[in-house]
Structures are given as C-alpha cells and as structure tokens.
Amino acid sequence: MASLRIKNYIIHYLDKERAGEATLELSKSLLEIDEFSEKLLLELHKAITDSDSVKNTKFKEESSNVFSNRLNQYFEQEYEEEDFINFSNSINELATTIEKVPFATGGYYVFADYFIDSKRYVTVAVLRKKTGLNIIKVDGKFKLLDSENLSIDKIGMAFRLNFNLYVNEKSEEEKDNYIVLITTQKYGDVSGYFREWVNAGDLIRSSQNTKSLLEIIETIPLPQDEYERDRYDRYTFQKHVYDYSKSRTLINVYDLSSHFYGEENRNFVMDYAREHDLVIDPEFKKQTRIWRKLITVKASIEGVELSVNYDKLNDDEVKVEDDKIVIYSKKLASKIRSQKKNLE
C-alpha cells in the first residue's frame, strides 16, 4: 500500500444547478488529518492515476492567473497554512466564471497538498454531490464522515501537480509535463472553464501520444506464456498490436495492456511508460501515418531480401509498381556500391 503524508487540505462547496446562480460556501479553516481524510486522498490519488481520461500538460506559457499565482505564493512562503487557504480561495474566481456557463454544475472542491511514497503532489478534485457521498459542514468547515462509497464516478474533474517535476531546475520548455487533468465527462473532454481556472496549457497532441506508444511497443518486455516464455518475437508482437488497433480510432492504453498482458496486468503498459519517463495519455486518437511505423513489410526471393517499414512504402521512398520496385535513396545506393567495390 502507498505511503501517504498529508500536509494541508481543505474542502469548499460550490453549488450550481445547470441553469442557475452559483453559490459558494467556504470552509473557514483547514481540516484535521484523520483516517477518513487519509482514505479519501489515497483513493483520489489512485483514481486520478488510473483514470482513462488523464491529460498531461503544464501551466500556460508566459501566463499566470489567480490560481497559479496563489499556488506559487504558497510554495514560496514555505507552505504556510494561511497561504494554502488563500490558494484554495481562488475558487471565488471559478464561482464567478461558472455562472456564465449554462450546463456547468457544482460540487465539493477538495484542495490537498500531500506526499505519496516521498513524492509530493497538489491536487484539486471536484466531487459531485451524489447519493452516498457523506460530506457535512461542522464548525465552519466541510469534512468527509466516511469514504465507504467514494468512487471514480463521483469525481467530476481533477487537477494534480507533480511538485518535483514542477520545481526542478530545467526551463519551463524543457520540463516534463507536471500537471494531469482528468474528467468523467463523456468523450473525456475537460471543461474549458476548469482548464482556464487552473491555468492549464495545451494538452498532449495525438501525434505525440502516438509516438510515445510506438516507442513503448518497440521496447517493452514481450508478453509471456504460462511457462514464462515470450509468446511472440518483436516483429510478430508489433504486427499483432497493429492489427488490434487497426479498426480503432481511439487507442485505450489500459485495454491494450489487458488484451496482450492479461486483465491482471491492466496497468503494465502505463507503468512502463512512467518508469521510462514517457508521457502519454491513457486514451487518445491515433495518428495513422505515425502508427504505420510499427509495421515492417518483409519479402524475399532467391538472393534478395527486403525489409521495409510500412510508412516508407510511397512514391518518394520505396515505390512498388506492377513488376518492379524502385528505392529512392542515395545513401542506400552508396552503401551497396561501396560493399560491391570492396568485394571486387
């Protein structure tokens, strides 16, 4: 089980029906750390990590707002409780914005600064007000009475910042994505008003997601049988992955992992990505042009053997006609001439 240490956390309530005014109730002080708060944050953290809708990003470039400014102020003031409360009160800006969004709804907003296995995170999660979620206001602050019925379907949206990635010495451009966003909305779209409020930048492009998964499939340990023997060689595995995804516009990394490594290893591919610092969304629209690099076309006749990446089969690189194959490559021609000359 993951080791958790909570530094600060607080819950506010933003009430809004689909077509009505927004009413904000703030907690007056931070919450005490108890077994319910620990279970809540452990489950929130796990739900965000395992969500199919995770989007990776950073703060907007050369831009700041109340949310990001107050969060930075909190970090700069050595994490004083007053500064954390001030940071959480940035929800006032959201309350003003959300009134202008017809179908936006409210919920309980959990702000937390905590450590998981020595890694530090700041999370802001929206818990929808649904049956079974037992949050009440006591002594001027909202608190969770129990967490028996907490589940991912009650998390409307969430923001999580990886502190270690955020404060390292790299330039903003060189830093790995240190923010993840999730949503349980249909199609996995994070609401624009939420993204603006947390000052989130552009999300990962589908081309980058495709490149990352391509790199993973080319290097990840191969699936094994019950005797711990590889079920495929690399070439065959890549072809099977390509065939699996061929009819799919969206690739769900968890489903792909379950298909090839077993349901009990649903997280295997995503865990491999994290271990090798490959940032990838759990579900994304694949870029077919890039994804075709996964396939190698092989053919041979007596004395001649060709192995060509599928994406190279085109009119400019390797052109296949009725009775001939034309390879446009000065480098390849030079290599063959050089070897031929050495043999003469």
Reported as a single tens digit per residue, the pLDDT across 106-165 is: 889 999 999 998 899 999 999 887 656 778 888 888 887 766 655 556 688 899 999 999
DSSP character string of 47-89: HHHH-TT-EEE-BPTT---HHHHHHHHHHHTTS-HHHHHHHHT
What letter does residue 224 receive in the DSSP assignment?
B
Map residue 5 onto helix, strand or coil.
Answer: strand
pLDDT at 150: 59
Q: Which residues lie across from 155 on neighbouring strands?
A: 127
First-to-last alpha carbon distance for the chain, in angstroms, is 67
Low-confidence ranges of the chain (pLDDT < 50): 187
pLDDT at 77: 83
pLDDT at 256: 96
Q: Is 262 left (phi over 0), alpha (psi -120 to 50) or beta?
A: left
- Residue 230: partners with Cβ closer than 8 Å, 6 or more residues away: 222, 223, 224
Whole-structure pTM value: 0.67
DSSP character string of 29-44: SPPPP-HHHHHHHHHH
Q: What residue type is 134 in one-letter code? A: N
